[in-house]
Amino acid sequence: MIVLGIDPGTATTGYGVVLNKNGKLSAETWGLIETNKEHDPSRRLRNIYKEMNFLLSKHNPDIVAIEKIFFATNAKTAIRVGQALGVMLLSTTRYKADVYEYAPGTIKKMVAGSGRADKKEMQQSIRKVFGNKVRSEAKKKTHFDNAADGLAVALCHFYSIDNTLIGGDKNGES
């Protein structure tokens, strides 16, 4: 099974593709969909749609797992990210991928063991599962947390459907 995990955003959307082959999880790829802050909103949404279609056609995931949007104060940002999420959901319909949404606290709890885990703890948990190869490109270090979050969303989906993957050895090895 292949899961595409998405950490939605307007400027930066993190993604991670995780494969479960015979109970062994592997991070196939991860990265960012970035838009230019100087461009008008419709152009940015068009770019997100195009990049989502590319990811879906290239990786052909069975499932798209998306982090639910949570904003406590900034309504303008919430609206923009909601528009981006709508475009992402529209894109998934073209490829007939099933979509699951997970709250940020659920993702943190499932992946790092605490619903209040910070970015560093999340990245450490991701590396425990996938190894130290899960790093950013040198020029993209400032946004690696978004890509790591994409991997975490995908991992959360696997953990939510298969309890045997949670625990001592999440790679499925004895």
164 pLDDT band (50/70/90 cuts)? Answer: low
Q: How far apart are CA 44 and CA 11, in angstroms?
A: 8
Instruction: Give residue 57's pLDDT band: very low, low, confident or very high (50, 70, 90).
Output: very high
CB 113 within 8 A of CB 99: no
pLDDT at 157: 96
- The domain spans of the chain are 2-165
**Distance from first CA to last CA of the chain, Å, rounded?**
21
Q: Tell me: the pLDDT tens digits for 12-41?
A: 999 999 999 988 999 999 999 999 999 999
CATH code that applies to domain 2-165: 3.30.420.10
Strand order in the sheet with 63-67: 24-34, 12-21, 2-7, 63-67, 98-102
Which DSSP state fits 85? H
Spatial distance between the Cα atoms of 21 and 26, rounded to a whole number of angstroms: 8
pLDDT digits (tens, 9 = 90+) for 113-136: 999 999 899 999 999 999 877 766
Mind listing the pLDDT tens digit for each residue in 139-159?
554 567 889 999 999 999 999
The length of the chain in residues reads 174
- pLDDT at residue number 132: 75
